[in-house]
Amino acid sequence: MTSLLASLLACDVGMHTLKPGVSTRDDVMRVMGRPANEWRQPDGSTVIEFSRQPEGVENWFVALGPDGRLKEIRNVLSDANFARIRNGMTKDEVVEVIGTPGQRMTFPLKREEVWSWRYSPQPGNKFDFNVHFDVGGRVVNTSRVSADVSG
């Protein structure tokens, strides 16, 4: 729990005021701003995405229980989640794992669309995680490149 609070304090101002089991949907919206996506779960809970892309390096997923109270806040841009992206997945399935991309590019000659997420696995290092889709909207590959710019 301490590491969660430390990561929250280092990111969005005010996130540290959100308390699991106490904070409500309204509290989350007031602190986090406008959501990028929202998914209702079969058990009545809700997952709300707050993307900080393309300028930021986080995509926050906020889980609310069926009672509308905060259960969890997590940044989904992680190596563990990137490893869950598999060939054949749809665009919607990718978004449910790592959220809304910061950039979308189309390469007509390659017949490919590439979505990118900027992330920082450790302070001072930025990378772009890319998901490559075929014309049917299915994952065909992933890649990552350094986004650090040296001057």
CATH number, domain of 6, equals: 3.30.1450.10
Looking at the structure, do residues 116 and 58 belong to the same domain, yes or no?
A: no
Rounded to two decimals, what is the model's pTM? Answer: 0.86
How large a percentage of the chain has pLDDT more than 90?
A: 82
Range of the domain at 129: 79-146
Does residue 17 sit within a domain? yes
The predicted-structure confidence for 6-58, as pLDDT tens digits, reads as follows: 443 344 668 899 999 999 999 999 999 999 999 999 999 999 999 999 989 99
| Position 47, amino acid | V
Q: What is the pLDDT of residue 124?
A: 86
Domain boundary among 41, 75, 109: 75
The DSSP-derived string for the chain is -HHHHHHHHHSSTTGGG--TTT-BHHHHHHHH-S-SEEEE-TTS-EEEEEE-TTTSS-EEEEEE-TTSBEEEEEE--SHHHHTT--TT-BHHHHHHHH-S-SEEEEETTTTEEEEEEEEEEETTEEEEEEEEE-TTSBEEEEEEEE-----
Does residue 151 sit within a domain? no
The predicted-structure confidence for 47-96, as pLDDT tens digits, reads as follows: 999 999 998 999 999 999 999 999 999 999 999 999 999 999 999 999 99
Looking at the structure, do residues 24 and 47 belong to the same domain, yes or no?
A: yes
Looking at the structure, do residues 16 and 68 belong to the same domain, yes or no?
A: yes
Domain boundary among 75, 105, 128: 75
Tell me if 139 sits within 8 A of 133, measured CB to CB. Answer: yes
Mean pLDDT of the chain: 90
| Position 5, amino acid | L
